[in-house]
Structure 1
Amino acid sequence: IDKLQRGKFDVMLSDPIYPCSEALAEKLNIPLVYTLRFSIANTLERMCGQIPAPPSFVPGTMSKLTDKMSFTERIKNMLFYLSQDALAIRWPTSYCEMMGKADIWLIRTYWDFEFPRPFLPNFKYVGGLHCSPAKPLPKVRLSFY
């Protein structure tokens, strides 16, 4: 911890799947920035980030549903959300409270690939941020094609 404090970092970039970054950012007194693709049924975003995701029209991630749900599919979606919430209830309240203190959540996808849903100002889409320009194929591969 002393070595990290001497480093005088400006910000902590973390994935919310891995615990303890919240506590470390608080200990170092620096802003916390989460970067994630998604969590199953948007559980982390909903329960810890306080982002609204009404199951009536926002399909749970990995549920194979779309935003054009029938009544039966809406019930399935609600059950999917409830099952993920039941698993998340085992987290201590302080864990979600600490995650909720993140200054910004960077979502690693493009908004046009997502279903419409409400977002808070501290959630930003940054799709492609982690990608670099493509390099040309080696000549060996080009001759194969």
Structure 2
Amino acid sequence: MEQLGIQCSDLLRRSDIMDSLKNENFDLVFVEAFDFCSFLVAEKLGKPFVSILPTPFGSVDLGLPNPVSYVPVFHSLLTDHMDFWGRVRNFLMFLDFFLRQWRIQSTFDNTIKEHFPEGSRPVLSHLLKKAELWFVNSDFALEFARPLLPNTVYVGGLMARPVKPVPQVSETSALNRDFM
């Protein structure tokens, strides 16, 4: 995992790339939420950024309220109707998720120390909360009810293609296909 921080440091060290990005004079930077380095690049450029979360909620803590009493943790197989032990399990899974994310984010600590001056070193978890807007690739109808901040927009289905009709197959040809 430390490779992530090393690669990010190498990118930020490349003055040709960073100068090229600065000279483009972008008004806004789009970042992908799984690549924490993109948040650091946007911060280094001093530009506001919009983040895209390509999965449903739960895979990255983006600073939204996360009431574990009724919002199940991603991949917990729980529903929003939890008994006491379900809530305990959900909390423990949330704690495990939080510690894993902290461990991943800590791989960028040396990168932050190397590329940002002492007084203005960003905290990676705070940078995620600094996004102007979050596009979440999910549909509200497929998510459990949860509080959202005004800068969160569901964009699920943007990449979906129109459905093609299913070809008609006779029963005998379907049976023949299964046995061949």
1:50 and 2:63 equivalent? yes
Alignment of 1:1-145 (within 5 A): 1-36=18-53, 37-38=55-56, 42=58, 44-45=60-61, 49-90=62-103, 91-92=105-106, 94-131=123-160, 133-134=161-162
TM-score, scaled relative to structure 1: 0.78
Structure 2 unaligned segments of length 5 or more: list them.
Answer: 1-17, 107-121, 171-180
Residues in 2 aligned to 1:129 and 1:10: alpha-carbon distance in whole angstroms: 24
Mapped partners of 2:59, 2:138: distance in 1: 17
By percentage of residues, which structure has more helix? Answer: 2
Secondary structure at 1:14 match in 2: strand
Confirm or deny: 8 A CA contact 1:5 1:28 kept in the other structure: yes
Query: Per-residue deviation at 1:26?
Result: 2.1
TM (norm. structure 2) is 0.65
Count of residue pairs the alignment pairs up: 136
Secondary structure of 1:35 counterpart: strand
Partners in 2 of 1:78 and 1:118 — Cα distance?
17
Range with bigger deviation, 29-38 or 86-95 = 86-95
Unmatched tracts of structure 1, length 5 or more: none
Offset, 1:143: 8.1
Q: 114-123 or 28-37, which moves further after superposition?
A: 28-37
Note the aligned Cα RMSD (angstroms): 2.5
